[in-house]
Amino acid sequence: MTRLNQIIAVEKGVKSRSFAELTDAHQQLQKPTLLGGIARTYRPKDEEGELLPPESTRVQVKAEEVVRQTAQILTGLFDVTATKDWANCQAKADVVVGERVLLKQVPVSYLLFLEKQLTDLNTFLRKLPVLDASESWTFDPGADAYATEPIQTVRTRKIPRNHVKAEATDKHPAQVEVYYEDVTVGYWRTVKFSGALPAQRVHELQTRVQKLQQAVKFAREEANSFEVTEQKVGERVFAYLLDS
C-alpha cells in the first residue's frame, strides 16, 4: 500500500513536470507557423511552359492533439493531488507530550498549522525581556510587578559655616572663612519595579514549547504514514471536458 508521506514526496515532482509540459504545450499553440500547412502544385499555361515541382508544408502542431496531451499531463497531477487531499481528510494522530495526550486525533492539515505557529511562538519567547541578574527580585502583588528590596539613601544639603581664622582685635577685624558642610536633610527609600520575567521562567516556557514542537512533528510523521487509497479523478474530469 502507498503511504501518505510517499504521495507528498511524489507530488512536488509531478507538479514541476506538469508545469513544464504545460508551458511547452502553451508555447506551441502560440506559434502560427507550427499550426499552418500548405500544399500547392504548378500547372504551366501550355505544354511548352516550365514545369515546377509541387510544394508542401505539413501541419506540425494540431490543437486537438495538444489538448489531449494536456489532459493526459493533468490527469496524473489531478490524481496524485486528489489522493493526497482525500488522505489528509482521514490521516490523524495524537499529540503526546511525555505521558500526556495533549490533543487527540489531530488531522494533518492542523498539525502543519500548529507546527508553523509553534516555530513563530518559540522565536517570540526567545526575545522575552529577562530581569536584571544583578538585582534580587520578588513578585509584588500590590504593584503587579517584580520588585527589589528597598534601598535607603541619604539626601544632603550644603550648609554654609563660618570658620574664624583670627579673632578680632583693637586694630583688626576678625578673619572669617566661609565653608560648606554636607548635612543630612532626609532619606530616600528606593524600590525598583520591572515587568520583565525571571530567566528561569523564560527557560521553562521555551522548554515547554520545544517539547510540544517535537510532539507535533512526531504526530505529523505518524499521520503521514497513513495508508492511502489512490484516487482516479482526472480521467473522469477530462472525459467530461473533452467530450465531443
Q: What percent of the chain has pLDDT over 70?
A: 99
Q: Give yes or no: residues 157 and 183 share one domain.
A: yes
Q: Give yes or no: residues 92 and 170 share one domain.
A: no
Q: Residues 33-50: what's their mean pLDDT?
A: 86
Q: How far apart are CA 34 and CA 37, in angstroms?
A: 8
Q: Residues 153-160: what's their mean pLDDT?
A: 92
Least confident residue range of 66-80, 103-117, 118-132, 165-179: 165-179
Q: How far apart are CA 206 and CA 209, in angstroms?
A: 5
Q: How many domains does the chain have?
A: 2
Q: How confident is the model at residue 33 (pLDDT cuts 50, 70, 90)?
A: confident
Burial class (CB in 10 A: 0-12, 13-18, 19+), 134: exposed
How confident is the prediction for the chain on average, in pLDDT? 90
**Confidence (pLDDT) at 128:** 95
**Confidence (pLDDT) at 103:** 95
pLDDT top residue among 178 and 141: 141
Q: Residues 199-204: what's their mean pLDDT?
A: 96
Q: Which three cell numbers stand for residue 242?
A: 473533452
Q: What percent of the chain has pLDDT over 90?
A: 52
CA distances 94 to 52, 90, 136, Å, are 82, 13, 43
Q: How far apart are CA 108 and CA 87, in angstroms?
A: 9
**Confidence (pLDDT) at 244:** 65
Q: Give yes or no: residues 19 and 106 share one domain.
A: yes
Q: Give yes or no: residues 180 and 231 share one domain.
A: no
Residue 119, in any domain of the structure: yes
Judged against a pLDDT cut of 80, whether residue 46 lies above it is answered with yes
Per-residue pLDDT tens digits for 185-197: 999 999 999 999 9
Residue 200, in any domain of the structure: no
**Confidence (pLDDT) at 126:** 93
**Confidence (pLDDT) at 171:** 77
Residue 39, in any domain of the structure: yes
Residue 142, in any domain of the structure: no
Judged against a pLDDT cut of 80, whether residue 174 lies above it is answered with no
Residue 58, in any domain of the structure: yes
Cell 520578588, located at residue: 138
**Confidence (pLDDT) at 124:** 96
Residue 197, in any domain of the structure: no
**Confidence (pLDDT) at 237:** 92
| Residues 21, 73 contacting (CB under 8 angstroms) | yes
Q: Give yes or no: residues 214 and 99 share one domain.
A: yes
Judged against a pLDDT cut of 90, whether residue 153 lies above it is answered with yes
Residue 28, in any domain of the structure: yes
Structural domain for 217, as ranges? 4-131+207-241
Q: Give yes or no: residues 217 and 117 share one domain.
A: yes
Residue 145, in any domain of the structure: no
**Confidence (pLDDT) at 136:** 94
**Confidence (pLDDT) at 9:** 85
**Confidence (pLDDT) at 117:** 96
Q: Give yes or no: residues 21 and 118 share one domain.
A: yes
Q: Give yes or no: residues 161 and 71 share one domain.
A: no
pTM score of the predicted model: 0.66
**Confidence (pLDDT) at 143:** 93
Q: Give yes or no: residues 114 and 163 share one domain.
A: no
Q: Give yes or no: residues 88 and 117 share one domain.
A: yes
Q: Give yes or no: residues 74 and 159 share one domain.
A: no
| Residues 130, 197 contacting (CB under 8 angstroms) | yes
| Residues 211, 130 contacting (CB under 8 angstroms) | no
Q: Give yes or no: residues 61 and 181 share one domain.
A: no
Q: What is the DSSP string of the chain?
A: --BHHHHHHHHHHHHHHHHHHHHHHHHHHT-HHHH--EEE----SSTTSPP---EEE-----HHHHHHHHHHHHHHHHHHHHHHHHHHTT-EEEEEETTEEEEEEEEHHHHHHHHHHHHHHHHHHHT--B--TTS-EEEETTTTEEEEPPEEEEEEEEEEEEEEEE---SSS--EEEEEEEEEEEEEEEE--EE--B-HHHHHHHHHHHHHHHHHHHHHHHHHHTPBP-----HHHHHHHHT--
